[in-house]
Amino acid sequence: MKCPACRVPMYVAEYQQIELDLCGRCAGVWFDSGELALLLGDQRPLDAAAALTDEATRSCPLCDKPMAKVNIGPGRRVLVDRCPRGCGLWFDGAEVAALAADLDAAAWGLPAAVHGFIREMFPAKGGK
Amino acid sequence: MWEQIAANRRKSILLVMSSALLLGVLGWALGVNFMGRNGGVPGVMMALVVWLVMTLTAWYQGDNIMLSVAGAHRVQKEDLPQLFNVVEEMTLAAGLPKMPAVYVIDDPAPNAFATGRRAENAAIAVTSGLLRTLDRDELQGVVAHEMAHIRNKDIQLMLFAGVLAGAIVILAEGGLRGMWLGGGRSRSRREGGSDGSGIVAILAVVLMILAPILAQLIYFAVSRKREYLADASGASFTRYPEGLASALEKISRAPQRLGGATSATAPMYIINPLKRTGEMAANATSTHPPIDERVRILRSMAGGGLADYERSYREVTRGGGVIPASELSSGAAAAANQPAREASAGPAPSARENARQVDDFFYRKDGYRKLDCACGTTLRIPPDFATPAAKCPRCGTLHDLR
């Protein structure tokens, strides 16, 4: 699978039997919907609002459809890409770092399990 | 299900013959259209050669074609032990002479199909999404449904139907394209002729348009009722209708669409892969009965037997029965070789373990390198990874890849 931002092959990191796809160049993270489902069961993965932005549109690394930009995070200022077909979510490197550093999952509109896993996976950036 | 098997054999023969007829008429129409009045006979001859090649191909290579079109990969027991256990159990429950070969398709959309010439060399294919989504009881229900297709010889019929429908579509499309490009005899040159060739040409066009639709109709006709029958037999193999019911629900609700499915292979799958969730409603040309009806029948079964399914089917559809009478009367015999369901269910692996087992298989197949980081994270590096080192996101360790 190729990074939707840099188009180089991504590597995979697995922790507690959950996998993330990572880009070695831009540190972006792909959270596959299959993995989100393993974390969440039937819960909705993301409470987000569609965003208007001039950030470049990225294509889903799985189905190649253009992904939608959605605002999450405190004040809804952080942009995340979401596949319209529901393949998964894409976080830019900086977004993941900000997300991992913040203790408050509710402020991000993410279920606690997802936020908790990201904090587990990126503790160095989370100041643990 | 001897009655059902005999009916399937009859239908297979009927299908092969009627497709020969359809192809013959199509060949005649193409011949007359492209070569003039005397082209009818050579056209029929050519079409019959095509028919012979397609039938032999369907018979000897159909299963391999179906599997490779679907992008299926053969797996062994050590790759996916849980799937293998379920297939082994259901082979016994269905009373098949030999365990089918097991294939996995790397696709997040959950679905499954069985194919093959006969029960001795059948294959069963499931998607990685199916293995990730279903628990053991649900997987057992799906595998049992596919085993029923194998035992009832549905797979043979579907093989012929699939390959022949494909051939007719290709021929008719080729003919139409040829006419569009001006290869056909133009009607204006023979305008006013009293030999009725204008009518022939119109007939040819109509046939070329109708043939693929007819082929699809044959295909539809053979595939609907057998889905109910496979549900009934599947439920009786597991003695646990809820497993299949819940699996059908999960499969139909999954948002992903199957990548490798075409209109020629779609009717093979346990749930039509070409329809979106919102389009699952009943309609006359559907290859599969509506999901919610299949689920309702399974859920209102009082027990796990064929007679229970029959009763439930009559109640839910308010129509006639679906299971042949001879089969219902021998229901007790079928019940005798049921393995106790509780005994076969071992400690179920979690959904996460399942997902990792499936992914591991595809990572190995695709040549990923596995690195165990000291912090408990596992990294997997693709063969075409560009950077010389990979960083563990958890502990920050830089793993040298050279």
Per-residue pLDDT band at A39 (split at 50, 70, 90): confident
DSSP code string of B196-254: -HHHHHHHHHHHHHHHHHHHHHHHHHHHHHHHHHHHHHHHHHHT-HHHHHHHHHHHHH-
Residue B272 lies in a domain: no
Range of the domain at B396: 368-402
- Selection from A22-36, B184-198, B285-299, B335-349 with the highest mean pLDDT: A22-36
Best B251, B276, B359, B361 member to test A by mutation, with max A CBs in 10 Å, is B359
CB A31 within 8 A of CB A40: no
Q: Do B393 and A13 touch (CB under 8 A)?
A: yes
Q: Do B381 and A120 touch (CB under 8 A)?
A: no
Q: Compute the nearest-CA separation of B384 from chain A (Å).
A: 7
Residue B95 lies in a domain: no
Sheet arrangement for strand B72-74: B72-74, B101-105, B123-127, B112-115
- State the pLDDT at residue A9: 93
Q: How far apart are CA B254 and CA A31, in angstroms?
A: 17
DSSP-assigned beta bridge partners for residue A9: A2
CB B63 within 8 A of CB B123: yes
Could you report the per-residue pLDDT of B145-196, keeping only the tens digit for each? 999 999 988 888 778 777 776 676 666 666 666 665 554 444 433 343 344 4
Q: Do A11 and B132 touch (CB under 8 A)?
A: no
CB B250 within 8 A of CB B110: yes
Per-residue pLDDT band at B316 (split at 50, 70, 90): confident
Place of tokens 């950077």: B387
Could you report the per-residue pLDDT of B76-135, keeping only the tens digit for each? 999 999 899 999 999 999 999 999 999 999 888 889 999 988 888 899 999 998 998 888
For the residues B58-66, what does the mean pLDDT come to? 83
Q: Between these two residues, B59 and A18, which has the higher pLDDT value?
A: A18
- State the pLDDT at residue A15: 92
- State the pLDDT at residue A71: 82
- State the pLDDT at residue B176: 65
CB B156 within 8 A of CB B5: no
Best B391, B395, B401, B402 member to test A by mutation, with max A CBs in 10 Å, is B391
- State the pLDDT at residue A115: 86
Q: What percent of chain A has pLDDT over 70?
A: 88
| B46: region left, alpha or beta (phi > 0 left; psi from -120 to 50 alpha) | alpha
Q: How far apart are CA B65 and CA B138, in angstroms?
A: 28
Could you report the per-residue pLDDT of B351-383, keeping only the tens digit for each? 788 888 889 999 998 899 999 999 999 999 999
Give residues with Cβ within 8 angstroms of B221, minimum separation 6. Answer: none
Catalytic residue list contains B146:
yes
CB-CB neighbours of B286 under 10 Å = 18
CA-to-CA separations, B349 to B121, B195, B324, in angstroms, rounded: 29, 74, 38
Residue B399 lies in a domain: yes
- Selection from A67-76, B216-225, B369-378 with the highest mean pLDDT: B369-378
CA-to-CA separations, B11 to A97, B197, B223, B287, in angstroms, rounded: 63, 36, 11, 16
Q: Between these two residues, B224 and B61, which has the higher pLDDT value?
A: B61
Per-residue pLDDT band at A34 (split at 50, 70, 90): confident
Best A17, A26, A40 member to test B by mutation, with max B CBs in 10 Å, is A17
Residue B381 lies in a domain: yes
Burial class of B244 by CB neighbour count within 10 A (0 to 12, 13 to 18, 19+): buried
Closest by Cβ to B351, choosing from A19, A38, A123: A38
**A residues 44-83 near B, CB within 8 Å?**
62
Q: Which of B146, B227, B310, B327 is catalytic?
A: B146
Residues of A in contact with B396 (CB under 8 A): 124
- State the pLDDT at residue B12: 74
Beta-sheet pairing, A88-91 with B369-372: unpaired
Question: Would you say residue A36 has pLDDT above 60?
Answer: yes
Nearest CA in chain A to B132: A34
Q: Do A121 and B382 touch (CB under 8 A)?
A: no
∠ CA B206-B211-B215, rounded to 5°: 155
Q: Do B382 and A10 touch (CB under 8 A)?
A: yes
Residues of B in contact with A19 (CB under 8 A): 356, 359
Please provide the average confidence, as pLDDT, over all residues in chain B.
78
Nearest CA in chain A to B392: A13
Residues of B in contact with A85 (CB under 8 A): 255-257
Question: Would you say residue B315 has pLDDT above 90?
Answer: no
Q: Compute the nearest-CA separation of A109 from chain B (Å).
A: 22
A vs B, Cβ pairs < 8 A, gives 87
Check CB contact of A19 with chain B, cutoff 8 Å: yes
CB-CB neighbours of B344 under 10 Å = 17
Residues of A in contact with B392 (CB under 8 A): 13
Residues of A in contact with B379 (CB under 8 A): 11-14
Check CB contact of A14 with chain B, cutoff 8 Å: yes
Q: Do A12 and B387 touch (CB under 8 A)?
A: no
**A residues 94-123 near B, CB within 8 Å?**
120-123
Q: Compute the nearest-CA separation of A117 from chain B (Å).
A: 11
Closest by Cβ to A15, choosing from B387, B394, B396: B394
Question: Would you say residue B333 has pLDDT above 50?
Answer: no
CB B346 within 8 A of CB B339: no
Q: Do A13 and B108 touch (CB under 8 A)?
A: no
Best A3, A6, A10, A11 member to test B by mutation, with max B CBs in 10 Å, is A11
DSSP code string of A28-78: -EEEEHHHHHHHHTTS-S---EE----SPP-B-TTT-PBPEEEEESGGG-E
- State the pLDDT at residue B215: 64
Q: Between these two residues, B284 and B14, which has the higher pLDDT value?
A: B14
Could you report the per-residue pLDDT of B242-300, keeping only the tens digit for each? 999 999 998 887 766 777 666 666 767 877 776 544 344 444 445 567 788 899 999 98
Q: Between these two residues, A51 and B390, which has the higher pLDDT value?
A: B390
Question: Domain total for chain B?
Answer: 1
Q: Between these two residues, B234 and B326, which has the higher pLDDT value?
A: B234
- Selection from A2-16, A100-114, B342-356 with the highest mean pLDDT: A2-16
- State the pLDDT at residue B281: 40
Question: Would you say residue A12 has pLDDT above 50?
Answer: yes
- State the pLDDT at residue B232: 92
Amino acid at B100: P
